[in-house]
Amino acid sequence: MNSAISNDIDQALISLFGFKQFRVGQREIIESIRSGNHTLATLPTGSGKSICYQLPALIGEGMTVVVSPLISLMVDQVKLLKAQGIKRVASLNSMMNAKQKSAVIHRLDTYKLLYCSPEMLQQEQVQLALSNKTIDYFVIDEAHCISQWGHEFRPDFLRLKDVIKKLNNPTVLALSATATPSIRQDIIKQLELPMKQLVYPIDRPNITFSVDEVTPNNKDERLIDLIEQKNIPTMIYFSSRKVSEAIYRLLQNKFPEREVAYYHGGMEQDERLLIQQQFMNNQLDIICCTSAFGMGVNKSNIRLVIHYHMPSTIESFIQEVGRAGRDGKQSVSILLYAPGDEYLPFQLIQTELPTENEVNLFFSEDIHKQPEDYLNETKLRFLELQKEQHHTTDQNEQVQRVIQYRNDREQIKQQSIFKLVDWIKTGACRRARLFSHFQQDVSNAQYECCDCCDFRLEEWRNKPETYQKKNKPRKNNWEAMLGELLIKG
C-alpha cells in the first residue's frame, strides 16, 4: 500500500470523525477494500466497525450501499451521521411509504451512503436505479445474519449475491463481531465470492463475566438486591416483552429515586424514540429491554449488563453483553440462571419452526385450510422459502426434504442452546470458553476475568457503588420547564 493513500485516510479520520488514530484493524480493513479486495472482517463489539465503511464511502468517488438487518439500526445510523454534519446519507426500508421511497430513489445522485434492507434490494425499481450508479462498495453489516436468518426466514439475505452482480460487482465488505469459522465459511459460500478474511479476535478484555445461579423463586429478589447495591448504568435483557415490563414496574416501585425504563419491539415508534434518546442522553439508570435493543446500540458508559433470561445463542449473548464498557472501562456481565431456564428458549424454537404435521398440512394444499390460519408468520415464511429451495417434481420427496431440513435446523438451534447451557454450567474460565467458539486464544482480562477465575460475585455485589449523574433533576411546573428550554443562560 503506498503511503499517499494511507495519508488520505488518516486525514479523513480526523476531518470527518475527529479521531486521531485508527483502532486495531480499522486501517487494514479500509486498505483492503480500497485495494479492491472483497473482504470479510471480524472485530469485537464496540471496536468501530462502522468507520471501516463510512470513511471509505465518504472519500470514494461513487456511492456505497450498506445492507443492515435491522431497520432501527439503519435509521439510527443515518440520523447519527446527519447529526454529525454528514448529510449525504439516506436509508431505504420497508417502514417508508411509496412516496418517501421514490423520493430517495430519485435523489440517489446526492448520496454517498445508502443504507438498505435486503428486502428493499430485491425490488426491481431499486435494483434498476442502483445499477445505473457507480457503486464503490457493497457493505454487509452484522453479516452473521446472512447465515443465521437467511436460511430460515429472511431469504433475501441469500439473494444478495445476485444483487451484487446486478450492481456490476462492487467491492464487498462483510462485517461482524460474532462470526464463528463455520459462519464465516457460510457467508463466503452464500456470497459466492473470493474473500480476503481479516479475522481479528473478538473478545472484550474489559468485561468481567459471571453467572449467578438462583432459583425460580428468588430470581427477582436477587435482582433487586443487586440493583440496590449497584447504582450504575445498567441494561437488563429479557426474552419476553411482558416480563421486561413487569420487572420494569417492580424496579420502578422499589427504587423510585432511579430512572428506569423499558424498551421492546412492541412499543409505538414515538415512544421508542424517546426512550432511546433518554438512554443515550444519560437520563436513564436502568433499561429493561429485549434483543430489539441490541446489535449496534452504541452508548459509551454501560457498566453492567444483566441477563434475566438466557438468550438462545452464544452470538446473541455476546452481542448483548457487547453493549457494556464501550469506553474501555471495567464492566460486568451477570447472567441470572435458574435451573429450568433453558425451557424458554427451547420453547421458542417451536414457535419458529413448523412441526412435521404443519409441514405435511402445508404441502397437502388442502383448499379448506389457509396456511395463514394455522401458521404464524415466521413459520409461514420458513415454509414458503423451503418450498422454493427444495423444489422437485416428486412432491413426496419434497416434503421429506423439507422435514429433514426442518429437523436439521431444530438440531442446530437446540445445540446452540446446549452450548450456552454448557457455558453457564462450566467451572472453567468463562472468557476462554465463550470465545473459544470464535478463535483459539483469548487475551488476558484487563480487570477481573470471570467468576470461575478471580471474580468474587458475592464480594462485588456487596460493595455498594454509585455514579455521578450528569443530569439535573427535572423542574416540576410548566413555567420553569419552559424557561429552562427556551431561555438561554
Partner 1 sequence: MHYRELLLFLFKKLEHERSVNAVFHLLKGKKSAQTLQDAYLFQIENFYGIDRKLKKPTFDVYVRELTENRLVRVENDQAIVTEQGNQILRGRNFQSYYQIKGHKYHQIDREFKQGLILLIQTVSMLIHGENKFIPIVDQPYIQSRVREVLRDYSMQFDMIAEQLYGELHTALSTIDEHLATVLLKQCSGYARVGMSEQQIAVEENRNKEDLHLQTVAAIHNILDTITEQTEQYTLLTKLILKKTNRLTVSAQETFDFYQAGHTLEEIALIRQLKISTIQDHFVEIATHKKVFNIYSFISKQHLDEIQEAIQNTSTRKLKPIKEQLREEIDYFHIRLAIANMNDDKE
Ligand X SMILES: Nc1ncnc2c1ncn2[C@@H]1O[C@H](COP(=O)(O)OP(=O)(O)OP(=O)(O)O)[C@@H](O)[C@H]1O
Residues 35-64 that bind Mg ion (CB under 5 A): 49
278 near partner 1 (CB under 8 A): yes
Judged on CB neighbours under 10 Å (0-12, 13-18, 19+), 175 is buried
Q: What span, in angstroms and rounded, lies between the C-alpha atoms of 319 and 322?
A: 5
Residue 281's binding partner out of Mg ion, partner 1, ligand X, none, with CB under 5 to 8 Å set by partner kind: partner 1
100 near partner 1 (CB under 8 A): yes
Cell of residue 210, nine digits: 459471571
106 near partner 1 (CB under 8 A): no
* Binder of ligand X out of 47, 210, 244, 312 (CB under 6 A): 47
246 near partner 1 (CB under 8 A): no
Residue 207 CA, chain-centre distance (Å), reads 18
* Binder of ligand X out of 6, 8, 10, 19 (CB under 6 A): 19
94 near partner 1 (CB under 8 A): no
Using CB under 6 A, which of the segments 16-24, 146-154, 222-230, 258-266 binds ligand X?
A: 16-24
Residue 116 CA, chain-centre distance (Å), reads 16
The CB-of-212 to Zn ion minimum distance in angstroms stands at: 16
16 near partner 1 (CB under 8 A): no
CB 122 within 8 A of CB 163: yes
450 near Zn ion (CB under 5 A): yes
Q: What span, in angstroms and rounded, lies between the C-alpha atoms of 306 and 310?
A: 10
146 near Zn ion (CB under 5 A): no
- Return the residue matching grid coordinates 429485549: 290
Q: What span, in angstroms and rounded, lies between the C-alpha atoms of 248 and 341?
A: 20
* Binder of ligand X out of 51, 302, 304, 429 (CB under 6 A): 51
The CB-of-129 to partner 1 minimum distance in angstroms stands at: 19
Compute CA distances 446 → 23, 177, 439, 443, 455, whole Å: 17, 19, 18, 9, 12
What is the residue-wise DSSP string for 292-314? Answer: GG-TT---TT--EEEESS--SSH
CB 117 within 8 A of CB 67: yes
The CB-of-39 to Mg ion minimum distance in angstroms stands at: 16
CB 334 within 8 A of CB 226: yes
Residue 397's binding partner out of Zn ion, partner 1, Mg ion, none, with CB under 5 to 8 Å set by partner kind: none
Interface residue list for ligand X (CB under 6 A): 19, 21-23, 26, 43, 45-51, 177, 296, 298, 322, 326
Interface residue list for partner 1 (CB under 8 A): 75, 79-80, 82-85, 100, 249, 252, 261, 268-271, 273-275, 277-278, 281, 283, 471-472, 474, 476-479, 481-488
